[in-house]
Amino acid sequence: MSFALGLTGSIGMGKSTTAKLFAAAGCEVWDADAAVHRLYQNGGAAVAPMAALCPEAVTQGFVDRSILKDLISKDKSLLSEIEKIVHPLVQADRTAFREAATSDIMVFDIPLLFETGGEAAMDAVACVFVDAETQRARVLARGTMSEEQFAQIRAKQMPIAEKLAKSDYRIETDTLDHAQAQVAEVLADIRRRMAHA
């Protein structure tokens, strides 16, 4: 029997780092963003349907995410058309991972888990969090987005307090050691639950 743990959190909260901690502890990790990258790269399942939808976004056989971002900012209705193509393909990728996984605990790293209703397919959900000031500092330190872009992304995401209230586990990522200790506690608790199932 294997256990599906959803891992979520808002931008800059330390979700990717926490996913690596779960992987280091022996869990197989499926990453929603990485799945989209696979679908968009040369030979990816999303390339042909995306080329039909917005040909200018496909260059040298792959979907260029920066061109896509520009197109979406000019035409807001495009996003839902893209999602109709990408979501079922991401779902299929996740199903294939689940069928091939051999670890007792599988971790599904999904930023918009609650926003898309994905928690229904999980046995439990862990949410990573940090205070708002640390979140902002982390995101802006990456140098990949402006304060305005950060605000736009945050506006699309469910407030962190709401995510935490809906989650079975909460992992504070204020320091790496603290996050690691909490990951170990989550895994120990899940294995206890599995032993008594």
pLDDT tens, residue by residue, 166-197: 999 999 999 999 999 999 999 999 999 999 97
**Chain-centroid distance, C-alpha 130:** 17
Domain limits, the chain: 1-27+106-191, 33-102
Q: pLDDT tens, 72-86? A: 889 889 989 999 999
Q: Which of 136, 169, 173 is nearest to 14 (CA)?
A: 173
**The residue count for the chain:** 197
Q: Give CA angle at 36 (32, 42), nearest 5°.
A: 150
The hierarchical CATH code for the domain 1-27+106-191 is 3.40.50.300
Q: Per-residue pLDDT for 20 more than 80? A: yes
Q: Read off the pTM.
A: 0.90
List of E strands, the chain: 3-8, 28-31, 58-59, 62-63, 105-109, 124-129, 169-172
Place of tokens 């926490």: 18
Q: What is the pLDDT of residues 80-127, one digit of tens each?
A: 999 999 999 999 999 999 999 999 999 999 998 998 899 999 999 999
CA distance 174 to 112: 21
Rounded CA separation 139/10 (Å): 11
As a whole number, the mean pLDDT across the chain is 94
